[in-house]
Amino acid sequence: MKRDRLLCVVSNQSPLCKENQVSMQQIENVPFIMPTYQCYDDIQKIFRENKVSPNIRFENMNEYSVISMVENNLGISILPEMIIPTSKISFAAIPLESDSYRTIGLAIRKPTSLATKKFSEITKRWVSFESI
């Protein structure tokens, strides 16, 4: 339904803060905070594809806690653009050189109820509207 870009999240104190893009090799050399809930598999896949072994210092299930840890300069992370707050005061969200995305879909069992069909239609319209 939607592609959500993965971005490197760094503290304003990080040397990477001024970069226009971040390579996986740059990520490999600094402490990394691994999100362990929604995008763990996507991030691991990017590391494997780029033959990178990150220096995982922390793991955290909550993306907002990950952002707080980044803000406090405990490491950097990779997070989906959709969950990153638009008001970034003490951190930066920088595109990855590899231009990586996660795909968000909707799985529905059949047979579907009328309410489920309506929900699916509304969700698809909302996603297409948000993409404009």
The pLDDT tens digits of the residues spanning 99-113 come to 888 888 888 888 989
**First-residue to last-residue Cα distance in the chain:** 14
CB proximity list for 32: less than 8 A, separation 6 or greater: 54, 55, 56, 57, 75, 76, 77
Residue 75 CB contacts under 8 Å (≥ 6 apart), including other chains: 30, 31, 32, 33, 57, 58, 69
Report all structural domains of the chain as residue ranges with CATH numbers, in order of start.
2-104 (3.40.190.10)
1 — pLDDT class (breaks 50, 70, 90): confident
pLDDT digits (tens, 9 = 90+) for 50-70: 999 999 999 999 989 999 999
Burial of 105 (0-12, 13-18, 19+ CB in 10 A): exposed
Give the pLDDT of residue 26: 94
Q: What per-residue confidence (pLDDT) applies to 104?
A: 81
Q: What pTM value is reported for the model?
A: 0.83
**Reported confidence tier of residue 46, pLDDT bands at 50, 70, 90:** very high
Span 22-48, average pLDDT: 91
